[in-house]
Amino acid sequence: MISRRGFLSTAGGLVLSSVATGAYAIGIEPNRQPRVTRYRLVPNNWPAGLKLKLVVLADIHACTPWMSPRRIGEICEQANALGGDMILLLGDFLSGMRIKTGHVAPEDWARELARLAAPLGIHAVLGNHDWLDDPAAMAARKGPTIVHQALSSINVPVYDNRASRFEKDGGAFWLAGLADQIGPRPGFDDLPATLAQIRDEAPVILMAHEPDVFPTVPKRVSLTLSGHTHGGQIRLFGYSPVVPSRFRNRYAYGHIIEHDRNLIVSGGLGMSVLPIRFGSPPEIVVVELG
């Protein structure tokens, strides 16, 4: 039988451990310099000789004290130093926090994002919180949203069911992006209309804020890039107890291959709902194709 002293010692240890864990999850991990997670892959339909480096930033969720303009600027400088051919922004620029935080004006976070530079440009899609946290756009059920306007002010195109063709080193590829899948339900995404804009056999990279569209993405798409899940924000031994996806952990994080199709889900940079990260630190994703 455990003694009273033993019980109190054990109970005290559990309390201290819980406090320490909570302090780390709120005060340390969310504020770490983003780790750089690298993926190298050659999709089945990728042309020989075409090498492409993508730097991916997802889920900024601007708010103070966790994602201030200064921190966003530092992340942008870190992203620039990675030498990507393109920088892709996968949505959720607005806070999404359910507790009171300091507001960051769109012009302030946009000014920091204007630091981003890459030879083939900066490209974006919107996320669910870019609609849900914009009452006027939600009421009207149409854009332009606050985020559309902020990104337009720094000449970053938003891919709302749109595809554009690019060339590099004599090879061609398409960059496509879906409008958000949630927003004012139902969402504004239209995958068939987006892919209908592709006029040749060059490979396709698809930006889709939420990964839930992946089961319907055809093999014609070489790579789908998503954010939204934050890796669950809490991730233990490769498992996240809460994932904002109807597929739960299936598309929570990382490189997923299904039926010769590739999906990469970023753990993102900021936080939504609650300011907690544990086992899922902020990250910048680098994808090298070819």
- Note the pLDDT tens digit of each residue in 125-160: 999 999 999 999 999 999 999 999 999 999 999 999
pLDDT at 214 (0 to 100): 98
Phi, psi of 265 (to 5 degrees): -110, 120
272 vs 100, which has greater pLDDT?
272
pLDDT per residue as tens digits for the range 233-277: 999 888 889 899 999 999 999 999 999 999 999 999 999 888 989
| Max Cα-Cα span within the chain | 76
Q: Tokens standing for 198?
A: 């592709």
Looking at 86-95, 99-108, 110-119, 256-265, which range is the least confident one? 99-108
Predicted pLDDT of residue 183 = 81
The CATH architecture to which 32-289 belongs is: 4-Layer Sandwich (3.60)
Write the pLDDT tens digit of every residue in 41-54. Answer: 999 889 999 999 99
b/e burial code for range 103-135 (CB count within 10 A of at least 16 → b): ebebebbbbbbbbbebebbbbbbbbbbbbbbbe
The structural domains of the chain, with segments of one domain joined by +, span 32-289
86 phi and psi, to 5 degrees?
Answer: -140, 150
Which residues, 6 or more positions from 121, have their beta carbon under 8 angstroms from its beta carbon? 86, 87, 157
